[in-house]
Amino acid sequence: MAGRGGFSSKFGFIAAAAGSAVGLGNIWQFPFKVSQGGGAAFVLMYVLFIFILCFPIMIAEIAIGRKTQKNPVGAFVDMGFKKWSIIGILGIICGVLILSFYNVVAGWAFGYFLEISQGNFGIGKEFSAFTADTTTVGIYSTMFMLATAFIVSQGVSSGIEKASKILMPTLLFLLIGLVIYSLTLDGAMRGVEYYLIPDFSKITFKVAYTALGQGFFSLSLGMGALITYGSYVGKNDNMVSSAVMIMIADMTISLLSGLMMFALIASQGLDLNSKGGAGLIFTVLPGVFQNFGSVLGIIVGAAFFLLLSFAALTSTVSLLEVPVAYLVDEYKINRKLAVWGMALLIFLVGIPSLYANGGSDFFTNFITYPGADASSSFMDFVGHVANDTFLPLGGLLISIFTAYVWKKHNFSAEIAQGNPTFVGSWQEKIIHFTISYVCPSILGTIFILTVLDRFFGVKLI
Ligand code: TRP
């Protein structure tokens, strides 16, 4: 569409969508959720949910975006189903919430890059003091938000696409190198077993819904980010194969970073069921880099946290793009104004999260849910609301919309453009079956039980 820009090629879209998907969710959040969720049992649920529930919804989001060439609110209006644009409104709120805390963690990653560049490997042991220093982290987060806003203000194809194409493969290679190194360490196998051999008694309902939330979060699903990106996809591209590639790329990075982390944790003789939570990679990795010796340690460690910051940047860009596309399309607001206004708003919404990791006692021990044995920080709370509740809810609504409102044959007709053999194929049968029956029933059940369990302490299963 004129004025909105578009990806220059199919590969450009895949790179940008994979850039959105791969981020802190894979490298920072995935390992600590695995360790809170009892290891391989969590990994198994995560992989199953991605194949069964996330994949069909991913296709639906891309199809809705490409069909309408609109933002997640305008898309539903454009198709003639104005009421369903509530999905887009929820998505925009959710994107604002996610970016508000994501930006703080991105500030940590960038801060670690600067510290390790100066040879400060001791920063690993000082994680709590580091995050409690809200002035320093606040400066890094501000820089991060400025960088995000700058890229988004440049428009989607020039900024996002170029950065993703170079940096993602580099990150993958560094990660593979670190995995190989970690596996050679003494004692690493204890971590590998914990990570890969499921203990089925660990599968509780909470493990299941956390794994589901992680799947949605990691694939950037359930809030219309892929509707927005799908709106920039060419009509002749095969979106099923694009979605497969994005999903594989994202899962590979998560699974590799988990493998690396558990091998490292085990080799250091630490407890695999970490209670440390969000600090996991930040406390463990600097000491590992130090063992490489001062020169190599600085090079590898700084490269790691710099690439992690870039991976986060290609994700924050996709999060900011959603509300911006909405304002630009629906209210004809000037793109630059929309970008800077939203960035400021989201930064302000993120201030409590900035203070939620030791900076202020109130935000650090923000809420204790009924029946919970410990308090959750404001940042955790936002994650519980956005990742574990809103994203699967968005997925649920998208699946119902696609199967029963938009209707399956229209959905298929959109996919068939760029994929001529799709109609009548087994691919179509599987996607239709999952989107109409499996996603609505499972996501609906999990959504209700999650709200009861998490926020009200009512445990029905
Ligand atoms: N998927 C990203 C990550 O794993 C985070 C992210 C970017 C996201 N855009 C999103 C999450 C949209 C949910 C929705 O780091």
Q: Is 24 in the pocket of ligand 1 (CB under 6 A)?
A: yes
Among 110-119, 225-234, 243-252, the minimum mean pLDDT is found in: 225-234
Residue 332, in any domain of the structure: yes
Tens of pLDDT along 166-206?
788 899 999 999 999 999 999 999 999 999 999 999 999 99
Q: What is the pLDDT of residue 160?
A: 62
Residue 342, in any domain of the structure: yes
CATH of the domain at 36: 1.20.1740
Range of the domain at 241: 10-358
pTM over 0.85: yes
| pLDDT at 8 > cutoff 70 | no
Q: Cα(151) to centroid of ligand 1, in Å?
A: 17
Residue 184, in any domain of the structure: yes
Residue 65, in any domain of the structure: yes
Q: 461 falls in which pLDDT band (50, 70, 90)? A: confident
Tens of pLDDT along 54-91?
999 999 999 999 999 999 999 999 999 999 999 999 99
| pLDDT at 209 > cutoff 80 | yes
Q: What is the pLDDT of residue 337?
A: 96
Q: Is 26 in the pocket of ligand 1 (CB under 6 A)?
A: yes
| pLDDT at 266 > cutoff 70 | yes
Residue with more model confidence, 431 or 5: 431
Q: Is 98 in the pocket of ligand 1 (CB under 6 A)?
A: yes
Q: What is the pLDDT of residue 3?
A: 43
Q: Please give the Cα distance from 364 to 371 (Å, whole number).
A: 19
Q: What is the pLDDT of residue 158?
A: 63
Q: What is the pLDDT of residue 276?
A: 66
Residue 370, in any domain of the structure: no
Q: Please give the Cα distance from 396 to 407 (Å, whole number).
A: 15
Which of ligand 1's atoms lies nearest the C-alpha of 23?
15
Domain count, the chain: 1
Q: 6 falls in which pLDDT band (50, 70, 90)? A: low
Q: Cα(293) to centroid of ligand 1, in Å?
A: 34
Among 248-257, 295-304, 452-461, the minimum mean pLDDT is found in: 452-461
Q: 159 falls in which pLDDT band (50, 70, 90)? A: low
| Average pLDDT of the chain, as a whole number | 93
Q: Which residues are CB-neighbours of 65 under 8 A, at least 6 positions away?
A: 72, 75, 226, 227, 228, 229, 230, 231, 232, 233
Q: 299 falls in which pLDDT band (50, 70, 90)? A: very high
Residue 255, in any domain of the structure: yes
Which residue's CA is the nearest one to ligand 1's atom 14?
220
Q: Cα(352) to centroid of ligand 1, in Å?
A: 20
Residue with more model confidence, 272 or 10: 272
Q: 274 falls in which pLDDT band (50, 70, 90)? A: confident
Tens of pLDDT along 232-254?
788 888 999 999 999 999 999 99
Q: What is the pLDDT of residue 443?
A: 98
Q: What is the pLDDT of residue 15?
A: 82
Residue 375, in any domain of the structure: no
Long-range contacts, 131-138 (Cβ 8 Å, 24+): 131/279, 131/357, 131/358, 131/359, 132/357, 132/358, 132/359, 133/359, 134/354, 134/355, 134/359, 134/360, 136/111, 137/104, 137/107, 137/108, 137/111, 137/354, 137/359, 138/107, 138/354
Residue 286, in any domain of the structure: yes
Beta strands per DSSP E along 281-390: none
Please, are residues 32 and 278 in contact by the beta-carbon 8 Å criterion? yes
Testing ligand 1's pocket by substitution, the residue of 218, 250, 322, 388 carrying the most ligand atoms inside 8 A of its CB is 218
Q: How far is CA 201 from the centre of its chain?
A: 27
Tens of pLDDT along 367-414?
999 989 899 999 999 999 999 999 999 999 999 999 999 999 999 999
| pLDDT at 4 > cutoff 60 | no
Q: What is the pLDDT of residue 373?
A: 87
